[in-house]
Amino acid sequence: MSWKDAAQLEGKLKHALNAFNWAEAQEICDGIIERVKTDSVTLPELSARELLHSLRRKRRFELMTQLAGALLQSGLRTPQIRRQYAQALIDLGELDEGLKVLQSIIEDSQVPPKEVGEARGLTGRIYKQRYVNNNDPYSPQNRDNLERALNEYSQAYIDSGKKDLWPGINVVALAERARRDKLPLVGLPDASAIAREILEALD
């Protein structure tokens, strides 16, 4: 069976999500997942990415993990699909599982630099979330979380040629958080300088 109806499925899912009809969205995804598991033809990547993007826009993260997991098992293991799977895991609070997926992207020599940067930024997000969740700035382990978050965001910002602004914004926010929490982190980025760079880029 082919996926000639892929565009139609995308439209049906968007319609159900825009109508906040979660039951219908679940039914549509269940049908797609069943086909993904049994069809000898792989769902086209562009359609897969669009389906996952639609689910993410409406914060249907559990459905995202179900669909992305099935896609990965079917052999559709592109960096974008793996990254979207990791994003959904992070949003569900499955930080350890999300980190494993992101590390597999970063360590894959075949992954384009853009996706490596995205994976590094999301890795920073995981360590940032761990720092916030632990809520203990005086714990050595938690200081390590903040330092790792800063390093990952900084690397993503630098590797993009300072064109991807979202990791840079996080560097600024976390550097200021470290100063506010009086953390003795070595070599903190110059938050003011990075903030000026970002403002200039926006202008």
Q: What is the pLDDT of residues 107-149, one digit of tens each?
A: 999 999 999 999 999 999 999 999 999 988 889 899 899 999 9
Query: How many Cβ atoms are within 10 Å of 183's Cβ, its own excluded?
Result: 16
Mean pLDDT of the region 22-50: 95
Distance of CA 89 to the CA centre of its chain: 8
SS3 labels along 35-102: HHHHCCCCCCHHHHHHHHHHHHHCCCHHHHHHHHHHHHHCCCCCHHHHHHHHHHHHHCCCHHHHHHHH
Angle, CA of 132, 87 and 6, to the nearest 5°: 160
The SS3 assignment for 144 reads: helix
pTM for the full predicted model:
0.89
Tens of pLDDT, residues 59-69? 999 999 999 99
Alpha-carbon torsion 31, 34, 35, 36, what sign? positive
